[in-house]
């Protein structure tokens, strides 16, 4: 999986197609990512001793990594990621569209 926490991504499929956000958490074993403000689901919370009020809470749910693409650092449009090795052997991620390093 070439995406990691803190990356800016754009959704390319699903009900929130076209929206963008940052990755809050990555689940590489399940090929899922949690993107803020995307794939929201409502949860009905019951009142208890800590929070006296019952309320309806919206929270982000994980989405499959195939439904998101990295946002290009220059244009903000979706782009693929290429892995390059630098001279000292370090692994760096490069946006295919603009050729710029990603974080």
What percent of the chain has pLDDT above 90? 78
Residue 26 lies in a domain: yes
CATH number at residue 75: 2.30.30.30
Residue 7 has pLDDT above 90, yes or no: yes
Average pLDDT, the chain: 92
Residue 85 has pLDDT above 80, yes or no: yes
Residue 102 lies in a domain: no
Give the pLDDT band (50/70/90) at residue 41: very high
Q: pLDDT higher for 29 or 52?
A: 29
- Give the residue numbers spanning the domain of 19: 8-95
pTM: 0.82
Phi-psi region for residue 28, left (φ > 0), alpha (ψ -120 to 50) or beta? alpha
The count of structural domains within the chain is 1
**Phi/psi at 64 (5° precision):** -65, 145
C-alpha count within 13 angstroms, C-beta hemisphere, residue 19: 14
Residue 58 lies in a domain: yes
Residue 37 lies in a domain: yes
Residue 80 has pLDDT above 80, yes or no: yes
The CA angle 81-89-73, to the nearest 5 degrees, is 30
Give the pLDDT band (50/70/90) at residue 87: confident
């Amino acid at each position: 999986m070439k995406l990691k926490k803190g990356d800016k991504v754009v959704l390319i499929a699903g009900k929130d197609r076209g929206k963008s956000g940052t990755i809050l958490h990555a689940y590489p074993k399940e090929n899922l990512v949690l993107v803020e403000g995307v794939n929201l689901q409502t949860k009905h919370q019951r009142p208890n001793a800590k929070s006296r009020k019952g309320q309806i809470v919206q929270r982000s749910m994980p989405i499959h990594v195939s439904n998101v693409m990295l946002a290009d650092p220059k244009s903000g449009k979706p782009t693929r990621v290429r892995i390059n090795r630098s001279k000292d052997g370090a692994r760096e991620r490069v946006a295919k569209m603009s050729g710029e390093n990603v974080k």
